[in-house]
Structure 1
Amino acid sequence: MLPSTLVAADFTAFQRTIPSSDIVIFSDGSRLIDGRAGGGYIGFQAHHQFLRSSLSYGHGKEVFNTEAEAALAGAQASIAYPTAQFATNLWICLDNLEVATRLLSPSTGSSQEVFESFRTLAAAWPLRERLPHTKSGSIQIRWVPGHTKIPENEAADLTAKEGAISIPPSLYKSSYASLKRYAKTQSLSAAQTRWQTVAP
């Protein structure tokens, strides 16, 4: 396994190969000790940050879910932004390898709806309104080594933490993974309570 400094250097070298007209989104997810979850993303084009958003999910999501939802939200914001007409490719960079692997692949389980929405958006990217000389391009996924002091990834991590401490919308859906963890916790608690009653 390569040392984290070499992996980070490899990613930084790759960043320099992305054309400046392309859009690059860094997204991340976070979950606090008390169970509140958040996501966030930042977007760059022509070496300037032009998008930044924090998302609050309350107690209904796991980090895996927030990572997927933040990537989708960043992609949605990018395709809707006027300067998407100048970009050939949209790059989604995130440090969760499992989410990065599943974003463009058929998926089952938790966040299935989010992954389906992402694939639909990826199919729509080449059809967006663009300048005559701009190629149709595609949405590309790139894994970023986490906790290696890559500035853009650190900034995305900060937006996710800001989302986690924010007040969530009044109506938010819990993810399958979150409900599964809750049910397991409740069943263990109920079993312990029952055991204390009947054991004597």
Structure 2
Amino acid sequence: MDSTHIEQYVLSRISSRRYAHCLSTAIEMQRLIQRFSPDYQDLEGAYIAGIWHDIAREWNDSFLLQYCLKHAIIMESEEYRHPMLLHGAVAAHLLSVRLASVPETWKSAIRWHTIGSPAMGILGAILYIADYMEPLRTHLEEGERDTLLQCDTLEQICLSVVHRHLLHLESKGKTHAVSTMDLLDFLEQGGVFV
């Protein structure tokens, strides 16, 4: 698959600022794979998932919701209440429309990158983490990225990101998605991504 074609397509559909984040996420995913899952073989999938994951992030809430309803995309109740979260589900569907044979691992990773899920697999966990901590992100406190990278396993770093995500939601008075809580439970019970 030609990643240059994917890059050009994504760049033509999102702002240059959003594209810079996507590119940084894709590069961060490859770094995280080398660090936490060196046996993982699908580096192309990691790069494409990183580039593609926010292709629908700049859509408005109404358009995201209508797209999901039109295409019968299953939504979490939290996503229905806050349609911006649907950009992952929409992006996964768009990729399957754009490319004839997209591996399920790619679609699952992109679909769950916003709220997480135990079903997101290794690639999804890598995307979830990279999206949170890629170097262009400004929400990280000084040293937080280095602290996260001190974790020993993919599951430990993912659990740390989940905790940070939940704290952020609580500080904003927002509820968490069921799938996020399922992910938390999965990781706290010693679950391992496959």
Q: TM range, normalised to the smaller chain?
A: under 0.3
Q: More helix by proportion, 1 or 2?
A: 2
Task: Name the one with the larger strand percent.
Answer: 1
With structure 1 as the length reference, what TM-score do the two structures score?
A: 0.26
> Normalization by structure 2: what TM-score?
0.27
CA radius of gyration, larger in = 1
